[in-house]
């Protein structure tokens, strides 16, 4: 894999880790950001994500060396594609998981179990 492919894969994994964090801490995030906006501040996002994934520092340093100081923090979050509405993303992820859930096929033993229950008058 080349650098671009590695970075794209890194961003996808980073997004999932950020969403995992948001899901676990949704109540806390809602208290701070629920009434004020849909996306936590860039400083907060970078602080959390560097704790979760230390390799972020390398990419942020790379990005920071190529931009003006004014746009470093917000730009770094955009560069990592973490500037999105986490609530909508969590809902979308939840819907995808529900659609992709595998429904187990009926077991050959199901009929046998049903017969036993019926013959012994056992419910559930």
pLDDT one-digit tens code per residue, 11-47: 999 999 999 999 999 888 877 776 566 678 888 899 9
Instruction: Check residue 38 and give its pLDDT.
Output: 64
How many Å apart are CA 50 and CA 32, to the nearest integer?
Answer: 20
Instruction: Check residue 15 and give its pLDDT.
Output: 95
The SS3 assignment for 41 reads: coil
pLDDT one-digit tens code per residue, 61-86: 888 777 766 667 788 888 899 988 88
CB contact burial 31-58 (16+ within 10 A = b; e otherwise): eebeeeeebbebeebbebbeeebeebee
């Amino acid at each position: 894999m080349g650098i671009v492919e590695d970075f794209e894969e890194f961003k996808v994994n980073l997004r999932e880790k950020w969403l995992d964090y948001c899901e676990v801490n949704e109540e806390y995030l809602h208290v701070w950001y629920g009434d004020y906006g849909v996306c936590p501040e860039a400083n907060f996002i970078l602080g959390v994500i560097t704790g979760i994934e230390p390799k972020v520092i390398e990419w942020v340093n790379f990005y920071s060396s190529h931009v003006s100081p004014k746009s470093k923090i917000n730009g770094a979050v955009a560069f990592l594609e973490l500037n999105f509405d986490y609530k909508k993303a969590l809902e979308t992820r939840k819907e995808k998981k529900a659609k992709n859930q595998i429904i187990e096929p009926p077991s050959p033993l199901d009929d046998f179990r049903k017969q036993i229950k019926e013959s012994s008058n056992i419910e559930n």
